[in-house]
Structure 1
């Protein structure tokens, strides 16, 4: 089992995300921002399902190229990254059209086909980025295309079957994440290639008396670089959330209520930054280095970034509603997203053994039960006050983390710790 970080926290590792990788992350987050067109005022189960489906597709595409850059390191081809960026850009640009067709029954299937083609091309191109014979031990699903078969079939299906096939493809990829082991794949391939029959075939194919063909070897991620990329992605998503709230405020009437809502929203998002980055690791709240496998960390990162991106939508709607109570579905989206964030924090805390029983129970009560009670009971509370209450919950968690988890010493200079330290 490969851990997300097996390096001591006090060892300085010089490698950081490159400019091309940062550019790539910004393009990927542009796709996440486009998902705001899916979660609008008319929120329902169909919108939530479509949001989750499109987000997972964008995240899987980003992860494919992110892990390629992580393993390739100095041999990363910038042109290949740029092609991946273009594919993600096409996916992002088609999101509003997909939302209009599916949620408003626009009838035009072109945006859905464009999104599917861009996703297929991006995943296939990304999976071919690895050196010949290399097997990624930590997250092998990015090298295989079984989950793309339903997406291919969807190009000839109608609207409802398209979405069903997309969901089947994403679920297949998620299942492969759970069951595929890079070490087992490597062992099976090596065992197959070393068989006498295979050796004879290689001698005929490669024209060599020793039957040697392409060497099959396993590669692993750079844990410090991976933690930096995951943390940066969460930071950029939080920054995009601030942009969405600011954009909504720019169209509202300026008064003290708007100022109070904007300040509370900013503090809430900044508090999530503190919990995920300052007191967390790799962008995950309550995680500690070297405690969980890379595969588990990537799965939790997907969920955390999805929840953080979701919070921006109801916050923007609060700015629009002002002092009015929020519609039930918007109130539940906001409170449910905050509760989901703290639920994931409890999971990471327990999985990485960074929480004792008392701390876990207190996080469940204050971080999960309290927001859910607000969603259930705060029907007459203004959206502004609801944000204030949720902000106080986040600040309380920050205060307890600051008190109970001492921040580790910073590096000797002003540059960030690449191993994810604070």
Structure 2
């Protein structure tokens, strides 16, 4: 299993994200931004579940093409990326209609079918982008479409069962990510093709006696780390855009300025923890310490959490002097606590955290936001955001001052 950045220094500076890949990432993040229509002040379990389901669909589609570009490198076909971008654009455009249909019980199934068809087409086209006979050893699920069968079946059932089948399809893909081994799959296919009887059949069927050649390919870990980090940065930037848009729609005064400033500090602090003191967009991660598959899974969770924070922050900018509704307050505090929880996981997994640091990160990063969510029921929204921003700033300060662990870790 390839580890993130587990390559010689000479190879690490050779590849960077291309302009086409950056363009592709921007379109994918536009889909994540569209999910703000799903979350709102009247957040409930149905809205949160729909958000998670649609976010995972967008992320899996993005990952399929991102890994294709990673492995293909200079042979990446820009036209394929453009087709994938169009598919992601259709998915993003249908998000508000899906949210309106499901959450407002509109009864129109067309947006759900549009989203499902775009997802199926994008995943299938992305899976066909790989070179024939190549098996991606690190993340083979992007080449297979077993998880798309429930999505295909959902086109002929009513709204409730559509969502159930979508969840089954995404769940099947997530299960395959965990249990499917590219190396074992490659060995089985090669052993099957190398069997004497099948070798003779292929020889009789081909004049030159040759048969299909199956080979394994691995991701470029340096390029992968860059793409993951850039995606997190763009998601954070999109959150800033939503805050600016919210500020532009309200009467400007010192209160709005204070709320916007606290929100910006919170997001900028997350940028510092994920990029300056992290790796591949993951807080507290150190290069070369975890497999690429684990980094991808954690990246999915981190970006999903970061994307949710923009919704309550926008509400704070619009109504900063009022307490946040209970659902929005828990969404904000819970998302911050989840972000730090993932930071604890990456810190422990990459051995960048000893016991005192882990305990400190748990108490200040996880327990403190949850206590704010529980107790700050009457606090003004901007006060709550300011407290959370101070927590993030405290983590940045400690990361700057604490000595690095191990001889290969260097703080900037």
Shared fold per TM-score greater than 0.5: yes
Q: Post-superposition shift, 1:312?
A: 0.5
Residue in 2 aligned with 1:175? 175
SS of the equivalent of 1:155 reads helix
TM-score for both structures, normalised by structure 1: 0.95
Q: Post-superposition shift, 1:214?
A: 2.2
Distance in 2 separating the partners of 1:287 and 1:10: 22
SS of the equivalent of 1:218 reads strand
Matches within 5 A, 1:245-256: 245-256=243-254
Distance in 1 separating the partners of 2:310 and 2:183: 39
Q: Post-superposition shift, 1:206?
A: 3.1
Query: Following superposition, which runs of at least 4 residues in structure 1 exceed 2 angstroms of deviation?
Result: 7-12, 203-208
Q: Select 2:382's aligned residue among 358, 366, 384.
A: 384
Worse overlay, 48-57 or 36-45: 36-45
Distance in 1 separating the partners of 2:285 and 2:347: 6
Residue in 2 aligned with 1:140? 140
Distance in 1 separating the partners of 2:411 and 2:387: 30
Residue in 2 aligned with 1:13? 13
Matches within 5 A, 1:6-405: 6-8=6-8, 12-208=12-208, 210=209, 212-404=210-402
Q: Identify unmatched segments of 5+ residues in structure 2.
A: none
Q: Post-superposition shift, 1:405?
A: 5.1
Q: Post-superposition shift, 1:382?
A: 0.6
Matched positions, count: 409
Q: Identify unmatched segments of 5+ residues in structure 1.
A: 408-419
Q: Post-superposition shift, 1:8?
A: 4.7
Distance in 2 separating the partners of 1:48 and 1:147: 22
Q: Post-superposition shift, 1:9?
A: 5.6
Contact 2:2 2:221 in 1 (8 A): no
Residue in 2 aligned with 1:416? none
Distance 1:143 1:12, change over 3 A: closer
SS of the equivalent of 2:278 reads coil
Cα displacement string for residues 227-275 of structure 1 (whole angstroms, at most 9, x for unaligned residues): 0000000000000000001111101111100000000000100000000
Distance in 1 separating the partners of 2:58 and 2:11: 34
Contact 1:9 1:421 in 2 (8 A): no
Contact 1:281 1:421 in 2 (8 A): no
Q: Post-superposition shift, 1:204?
A: 3.8
Q: Post-superposition shift, 1:203?
A: 2.3
Cα displacement string for residues 255-308 of structure 1 (whole angstroms, at most 9, x for unaligned residues): 100000000000100000000000000000000011111110000000000000
The RMSD of aligned alpha carbons is 1.6
Distance in 1 separating the partners of 2:393 and 2:65: 35
Distance 1:178 1:421, change over 3 A: farther
Distance in 2 separating the partners of 1:398 and 1:190: 50
Cα displacement string for residues 59-108 of structure 1 (whole angstroms, at most 9, x for unaligned residues): 00000000000000000000000000000000000000000000001111
TM-score for both structures, normalised by structure 2: 0.97
